[in-house]
Amino acid sequence: MAEGGKPRMWDRWTSHREEVLQSDLMQSWYATRSRRRALAAAGLAGLAMIWAGTVVSWHLAPSDTAMWVTISLLGVSVVTTVPVIGALNVATRGTMSLAESRLDERQVAERLRAFTVAHRIMLAVLVAVVVAVLAADTEHVPMAAVVVGVIALFETHMLLPVLVAGWRMPDPPPDDEEDEEDEDDASAG
Amino acid sequence: MADGKADKEHVHNRIAVLRAERGVSRRELATALGVHYQTIGYLERGEYSPSLHLALRIAAFFEVPVEVVFSLTPFPRLGSA
């Protein structure tokens, strides 16, 4: 709270974000485990596009073809990953995006597990990148490839935990109201 | 290996029974304990074992000893004893 009792813009934004994360926004996107896994796979495909852009820039830059192919791949990647990450953040109820102080012990444990798995995958990605760079001709590396490669590394590092959490997440327990509806249906039948 | 460990460390609980008995909803219990309402559901389904601190707080909420709510062996079914 800011002085004068008025909530600051950051507090308002945080509470709005928490509200959205606890809502059932776009629920049909992540209602079942297979849909959440499809979302995670789409997110991985989005990340793969940035890596593909790096490869294209490495081999073809500087050229118009390299520029337009890379820009297109980055554009499709953004269009894919933004809604996927949004949906998975709501599905996991902000386990990966809220401050740890806003989470309970189960959510903190789930977050740590997701970070651990993502950390291992990231290590494998780094090893693969090092092997690929050592095996390639590094005498004339286009600057575009370095820039897109760094973007790919950052994006992979940032988004993997959310994708892992979405992939691993079991079906959440039904809400109280859904339980009551089930009981009503059972007693009616 | 992980599944075996999870089986070995499984803690049975009677949260759902106590909650139904007292007419407390998952959201009400979650609010009283300061946890997410889904955590109560995961606890009831046995998919999450609580910390000692949370277990003691759940027992305190229902005003029963902790062994009434949690057990390492399955609770006897009603009418079986």
Radius of gyration of chain B (CA): 13
Domain B2-71 coded CATH 1.10.8.350:
no
Nearest to A149 by CA among A15, A60, A67, A50: A50
A62 phi/psi in degrees, rounded to 5: -85, 125
| A22: closest CA of chain B, how far (Å) | 10
Percentage of chain A lying above the pLDDT 70 cut = 89
Q: Phi and psi at residue B36, in whole multiples of 5°? A: -70, 145
| pLDDT at residue B72 tops 50 | yes
Domain edges within chain B? 2-71
B50 contacts chain A (CB < 8 A)? yes
Q: pLDDT tens digits, residue range B7-39?
A: 567 899 999 999 999 999 999 999 999 999 999
* Alpha helix stretches (DSSP H) within chain B: 2-8, 15-22, 26-33, 37-44, 52-62, 66-69
Q: How far is B25 from chain A (nearest CA, A)?
A: 6
Contact criterion met (CB < 8 Å) for A105 and B45: no
- Tokens representing B16 are 């759902």
